[in-house]
Amino acid sequence: MTLIRPMAALTLFALCAAPAAQALDPVKAAKIRADLQAFRSDPASFMNRHPEKTLANGQSAPITTLFGIEAVDARAFITARDQGRKQFCTERDGVPVCLGEVQPGKAPFGADDRAEDLVDRPESMITRLRDMDGLRSARLPVSPWSDDYWPIYKGQIGNRYADESFPESESWKRNADYVAQKSALQILAGANSSSVDTLSPAEKYDLLVGDRDLSFTESNWAPGRQYFTQYGKVETWMGLCHGWAPAAFMLERPTNAVTVLAADGQTRLNFYPSDIKALATSLWANVRTPSRFVGGRCNDKDPAQDENGRNTSGECFDTNPGTWHQVVVQQIARSKRSFVMDATFDYEVWNQPVVAYEYAYFNPKTDVETESLEEATVSVSEFTNDVFRKYRSESARRIVGVAMEVTYVVENSPNHAMSNKEDDDDLRSVTYYYDLELDSQGRIVGGEWYGNEHPDFLWLPPAGTKARAYADRFAEGGWSGAETMNSSWRTAARTGSRRGQPLGKIVETLIGLSRAGL
């Protein structure tokens, strides 16, 4: 496989000499060795295996999925992911391009993907593998935060998650009926502060801005009503992960609960960190913001494979290992900013922010793991047992094997904890095996995956991007949180709610108050 074009002119931070090889962790070395032996003995089986995920403590993570057994067997998640990717739009050379406008299997910019289309500061991107040797591991100084994916069948952020009587049913109708039978206004009229405290984030938002029509709450239940009316059910996988994933690193972590006055000037509303995260997630899910991405659409549920299990279907456009490697190193180690990965044919990974990575080398001919780049390098001519030989780039002169452990943030359940910190996040790690093709100058020009379940769509909003509701422009003045919100903000908020959009100004103010401990 070949990248569309390497950035030949840029070779920064070149090393005068190769760094001294370090001993691999024995446990990790043994795992790499065993996995590579399994690959060599039966490539097709290894290529189609489900990679093991691990918890932060190194223990195996249970296989979790938002899809039922029948949906997994039918690979319905492929169609679901394709529907989500249609929403992504970007701009290249001044021309807007949306994936919804291109056919499945086609990338918007040609047949291959390019790391420079995604990363921050592409003009300083490292393209020589040797120049990355000092960056074999990195972790973000500030981790993205975990949040719920706020499923549609529970009313999105209309979910009364703290109400012990809320059904939490897989039936959208049962959940919706419970909320309809006792609305937020009825609960407010009862003057029971504990009941008000268990209202959903959306209901608290409506009370904060004085919307007696509960427009924002209704906007959160409306998508489920539409699906239920049309299909008689709401799929449990549908939710707001596409909003949570970017919000988790584009907005600061809400660290403390905030108490503010409702629009009635009397009711005190507690916005817990989970409530504020919910509003941030909803904002980023419902406001169109620019995104950069590599990868394309794929709805092929049974792609063609060769005798070694490698996908050959032209209907599926996968991120090349060379692109993946450069993106990870550039974003996490150098730009120190997360990005979102979505793994192909993997129903467990669904828009997850990356927080850390660590990689070691292996020699793809001998399958021997090593910390030495030289020992891991084999020339194309000497790589006689290469099962991917016919797919290699014409520019490839040497091949290097890589075993990369990637750590990413996953969702967790909302709660009424008074504070939130990184230790409260849930993390997963997974090891991806691939090789990198190097040209005569040592630049990465492509590579091959040693597994079909790998990241195939990577995206992130440009640095400094702010999510703003349409109605944010109408909110004048300010709000300190110590008094009721001014009429300009309340009116703008109600306008935004009818579009399903919380005001960015309100969300960011709540985060600021939370971090100030007010």
Structural domain of 225: 152-288+472-516
**Mean of per-residue pLDDT scores for the chain:** 89
pLDDT tens digit string along 452-485? 888 888 999 999 999 999 999 999 999 999 999 9
3-class SS string, 248-267? HHHCCCCCECEEEECCCCCC
Of 107-121, 148-162, 250-264, the one with minimum mean pLDDT is 107-121
Are the C-beta atoms of residues 81 and 75 closer than 8 Å to each other? no
**Residues 255, 419 contacting (CB under 8 angstroms):** yes
Residue 10 lies in a domain: no
Instruction: Answer yes or no: do 298 and 395 share one domain.
Output: yes
What span, in angstroms and rounded, lies between the C-alpha atoms of 30 and 401? 16
| 504 shares its domain with 441 | no
Q: pLDDT of 160-197, one tens digit each?
A: 999 999 999 999 999 999 999 999 999 999 867 789 99
- In sequence order, what DSSP letters do the residues of 72-124 get, joined into one string? HHTTHHHHHHHHHHTT-EEEETTEEEEGGGS-TT-BTTBSS--GGGTSSSGGG
In this structure, the answer to whether residues 314 and 440 fall within a common structural domain is yes
Output the pLDDT for position 74: 78
- Token pair 């600061």 is found at 252
DSSP 283-344: HHHHS----EEE------SS--B-TTS-B--TT-----HHHHHHHHIIIIIII----EEEET
CB 90 within 8 A of CB 102: no
Distance CA 214, CA 201 (A): 12
Q: How far is CA 399 from the centre of its chain?
A: 30
- The H or E element spanning position 345 is none
**Locate tokens 């659409």: which residue?**
297
Rounded to an integer, the average pLDDT of 499-518 is: 95
Q: Residues 297, 284: one domain?
A: no
Q: 60 φ, ψ to 5°?
A: -65, 135
Within this chain, do residues 302 and 436 fall inside the same structural domain, yes or no? yes
Q: How confident is the model at residue 350 (pLDDT cuts 50, 70, 90)?
A: confident
Query: Mutual orientation of helices 215-231 and 201-209 as an angle, nearest 10°?
Result: 140
Residue 210, helix vs strand vs coil:
coil
Nearest-angstrom CA–CA distance, 246 and 488: 28
Question: Are 64 and 117 part of one and the same domain?
Answer: yes
State the pLDDT at residue 195.
93
Type of residue numbered 25: D
Domain total for the chain? 2
Query: Which residue's structure tokens are 């001014």?
Result: 486
> What is the distance between the alpha carbons of residues 282 and 250, in angstroms, rounded to a whole number?
13
Within 13 A of 517's CA, how many CA atoms are on the CB side? 0
pLDDT at 110: 43
Please check whether residues 341 and 326 belong to one and the same domain.
yes
What whole-number distance in Å separates Cα of residue 89 and Cα of residue 289?
9
Note whether 411 and 241 are within 8 A (CB).
yes
Greater pLDDT, 25 or 361:
361
In a domain, 15, yes or no: no
Question: Do 375 and 366 form a contact (C-beta atoms < 8 A)?
Answer: no
The pLDDT tens digits for 294-310 are: 877 677 778 889 999 99
Domain boundary among 417, 435, 460: 460
Model confidence band, residue 16 (pLDDT cutoffs 50, 70, 90):
very low
Does residue 467 belong to any structural domain of this protein? no
Cα of 15 vs its chain's centroid, Å: 33
Residues 281-337 pLDDT 10s: 999 999 989 889 887 767 777 888 999 999 887 556 468 899 999 999 999 999 999
466 assigned to some structural domain: no
The count of other CB atoms within 10 Å of the CB of residue 28 is 16
Q: Which of 503, 493, 511 is nearest to 214 (CA)?
A: 493
Does residue 10 carry a pLDDT above 60?
no
46-79: pLDDT as tens digits: 999 999 999 988 899 888 888 877 887 777 877 7
Are both 438 and 303 inside the same structural domain? yes
Residue at 70 is within a domain: yes
Cα–Cα distance measured from residue 339 to residue 46, given in angstroms and rounded to the nearest whole number? 27
Residues 136, 82 within the same domain: yes
Answer with the one of 429, 460, 491 that is the final residue of a domain: 460
Tokens of 155: 């009313």
- Residue in the block written with tokens 């057994």: 69
* Residue at 375: amino acid letter: E
In a domain, 158, yes or no: yes
Least confident of 63-67, 129-133, 150-154: 63-67
| Selected residue with higher pLDDT from 239 and 193 | 239
**Whole-Å CA distances, 85 to 52, 248, 284, 350, 351:** 25, 19, 15, 11, 11
The end-to-end CA distance of the chain, in Å, is 54
Neighbours of 422 (CB within 10 A): 14
Residues 305 and 275 in one domain: no
- The answer to whether residue 42 is domain-embedded is yes
My answer on whether 450 and 428 are in the same domain is yes
462 CB neighbour count, 10 Å cutoff: 12
The closest alpha carbon to 201, from 164, 245, 150, 236, belongs to 150
Residues 174 and 258 occupy one common structural domain: yes
Residue 18 has pLDDT above 60, yes or no: no
Pull the structure tokens for residue 53. Answer: 């995920």
Tell me if residue 226 falls in helix, strand or coil. Answer: helix
The pLDDT of residue 2 is 46
Alpha helices in 362-517 (DSSP H): 373-376, 487-497, 504-516
256 located within any domain? yes
Rounded to whole angstroms, the Cα distance separating 370 from 124 reads 28
Please check whether residue 320 is in contact with residue 3, taking contact to mean a CB–CB distance below 8 angstroms. yes
How crowded is residue 246: how many other Cβ atoms within 10 Å of its Cβ? 26
Domain boundary among 460, 480, 497: 460
